[in-house]
Amino acid sequence: MERVEVHASFGGRQEVWRHESASLGTIQQVGVYLPPQAVQGEKCPALLWLSGLTCNEQNFITKAGAQAIAAELGWILIVPDTSPRGEQVADAEGYDLGQGAGFYVNATQEPWAAHYRMDDYVNIELRELAAANFPVNGHWAISGHSMGGHGALTSALRNPGLYTSASAFSPIVAPSQVPWGQKAFTAYLGDEPAVWAEYDSVELITSGSNPELPLLCDFGDADDFLEVQLQPQRLQEALDRSGRRNARIRLQPGYDHSYYFVSTFFADHLKWHHAQIGAGS
């Protein structure tokens, strides 16, 4: 790994690292915030943050205002890019497919299968890389925004025991049923609905995946994408049917899809993740 940025922040360090990814076959960048506790050598819990369409590692680390609460609570923040990148990587016109739009799946269809393996990258390679290079104490939480909220929920639901808790801002909860997800899944995964279901939070909850996982989701009621692309009612209905005890959906009045929304409630989310460590111990 090569460190390409470092900035003092709330007694800790906001860093950006570059590394060669075996999963993706590309050079990737990842933001890492080390709170003062980690800088001083203490092992800390880690939150993996997954960003949304068109984003890279910079959006969250510069817009979310996350470093202050991470420093207070002593959390490492791991912030990858949203897709493989490079001249050799397949791309498409538009913002919702290709580079910047990996959807956190392992693609099986050409020309995407060669590099678009974001599921493996996030949940295996990046976690191993972080554990080998930073003082992570073994407690991992996951969160994300929009497409990244989808990735956070499905990563945790698909992998029992990997994450202590999962939260999301404005997640795409039923990608199999909405235009963003249908476009991406058809390209990356083909036409088989059973394969799509493996990366669909509503389908995973309905099938009983990881039933004890604590979940927290926030949506803004002024979000332009709420009715067509996000459809939180589908998630609520799946949770109600499943009888999950430790899941909460909140609709925040007046908030939209932007990082103004994320920055307003991120501290609340990290405090909630912090409390789950104690609740699960």
Residues designated as active site: 146, 223, 257
What is the distance between the alpha carbons of residues 56 and 80, in angstroms, rounded to a whole number?
7
Residues 83 and 114: beta-carbon distance below 8 Å: no
Indicate the burial class of 245 (C-beta count within 10 angstroms; 0-12, 13-18, 19 or more): exposed
Nearest to 138 by CA among 49, 44, 213, 71: 44
